[in-house]
């Protein structure tokens, strides 16, 4: 029987996996590194928590996750031309003692079985709308492109410094990076605009990780992004995690399998809701596994992590995927 790591590599390289890769089983995501603490996310039910970047977020009861607060009292950046005076990245250089829990977590992982991964969120695009709101972000691509390029460069340099510290301390061999690039129906920008503003930055970031020995780059965007797949390949992404059914997953696999793999194919909204049933989960898993096949595809919900909003859903998905492995392999 292949290890989780071996089975993942067989799947994404078009080899001979002996079962479906089951959601996030192949990643040991280190969540307690000290750089993550600068983002200071609110807990469920907490409101108006401000992190070290100056971004205020809330996680209201009954919602799936935290999101920035952009009323006049809390929006960080109201004029993009003033960003140099307002946006101040926290230093990624932490005291050595602060790294000890994360180092211990990384050292406890059997790297023959799983990849050790850092977690980076928000991504470049998400950081922009965290600072200034979605409407201003989108307008500034048109009205103030030079300022947006400069701000993206500033964020990229911070990510590279953060990556250097993380690689030095944790010796990761995988990256799990979030950045949502669209809604369920469309990308937030055209491929041409995406290529202008974001492809060079991500090529630099992911290229640095490769230089440091990272073998696997997993990028989360639970959205429509099928038109950006050539750019994802150009960036060096190995797995697009979060692919939703509206992307025509089967077509994506047929067109790009072998150059990039796809993780998702089960929309979280279809299974992860207050009245979820085991039968719904089983039906969605069976549909995905039979329709999308054994190679270049990893069945999972579209949510960006080994979790579910409602208790029991993630475990139910895991169990149903195991059943399909026994049936189809």
What are the pLDDT digits (tens) for 66-111? 999 999 999 999 999 999 999 999 999 999 999 999 999 999 999 9
Nearest to 102 by CA among 36, 43, 42: 36
HSE at residue 290, side-chain half, CA atoms within 13 A, is 10
pLDDT at residue 61, as a whole number: 85
What are the pLDDT digits (tens) for 6-32? 999 999 999 999 999 999 999 999 999
What pTM value is reported for the model?
0.97
Burial class (CB in 10 A: 0-12, 13-18, 19+), 230: middle
What are the pLDDT digits (tens) for 190-209? 999 999 999 999 999 999 99
CA angle 315, 261, 265 (to 5 degrees): 45
Cis? peptide before 122, omega within 30° of 0? yes
3-state DSSP assignment of residue 44: coil
Among the ranges given (31-40, 147-156, 187-196, 258-267), the one the predictor scored with the smallest mean pLDDT = 31-40
* CA–CA dist 100, 172 (Å, integer): 15
209: Cβ–Cβ under 8 A, 6 or more apart, which residues? Answer: 163, 167, 175, 217
* CA–CA dist 308, 153 (Å, integer): 34
Do residues 231 and 199 lie in contact, with contact meaning Cβ atoms separated by under 8 Å? yes
Quick count: other Cβ atoms within 10 Å of Cβ 45? 11
4-328: CATH topology = TIM Barrel (3.20.20)
Band of pLDDT at residue 256, cut at 50, 70 and 90:
very high
What does pLDDT average to over the chain?
Answer: 97
pLDDT at residue 39, as a whole number: 86
**DSSP character for 80?**
G
pLDDT at 62 over 80: no
Do residues 118 and 175 lie in contact, with contact meaning Cβ atoms separated by under 8 Å? yes
């Amino acid at each position: 029987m292949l290890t989780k790591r071996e089975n993942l590599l067989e799947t994404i390289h078009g080899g001979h996996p002996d079962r479906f890769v089951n959601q996030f089983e192949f990643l040991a995501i280190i969540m307690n590194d000290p750089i993550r603490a600068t983002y200071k996310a609110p807990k469920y039910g907490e409101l108006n928590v401000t992190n070290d970047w100056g971004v205020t977020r809330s996680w209201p009861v009954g919602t799936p996750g935290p999101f920035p607060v952009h009323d006049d009292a809390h929006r960080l950046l109201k004029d993009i031309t003033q960003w140099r005076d307002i946006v101040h990245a926290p230093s990624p250089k932490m005291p050595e003692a602060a790294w000890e829990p994360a180092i211990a977590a990384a050292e406890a992982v059997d790297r023959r079985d799983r990849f050790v991964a850092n977690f980076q969120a928000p991504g470049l695009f998400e950081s922009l709308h965290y600072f200034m709101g979605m409407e201003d972000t989108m307008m500034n691509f048109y009205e103030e492109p030079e300022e947006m390029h400069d701000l993206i460069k500033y964020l990229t340099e911070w990510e590279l410094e953060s990556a250097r510290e993380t690689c030095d301390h944790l010796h990761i061999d995988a990256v799990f990076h979030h950045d949502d690039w669209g809604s369920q129906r469309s990308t937030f920008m055209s491929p041409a605009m995406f290529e202008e503003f974001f492809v060079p930055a991500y090529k630099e970031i992911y290229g640095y990780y490769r230089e440091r020995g990272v073998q696997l780059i997993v990028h989360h965007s639970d959205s429509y992004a099928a038109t950006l797949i050539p750019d994802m390949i150009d960036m060096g992404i190995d797995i697009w995690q979060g692919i939703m059914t509206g992307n025509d997953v089967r077509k994506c696999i047929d067109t790009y399998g072998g150059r990039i793999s796809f993780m998702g194919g089960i929309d979280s909204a279809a299974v992860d809701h207050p009245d979820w049933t085991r039968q719904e989960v089983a039906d969605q898993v069976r549909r995905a596994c039979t329709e999308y096949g054994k190679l270049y595809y990893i069945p999972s919900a579209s949510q960006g992590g080994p979790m579910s909003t409602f208790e029991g859903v993630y475990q139910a998905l895991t169990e149903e995927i195991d059943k399909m492995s026994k049936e189809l392999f």
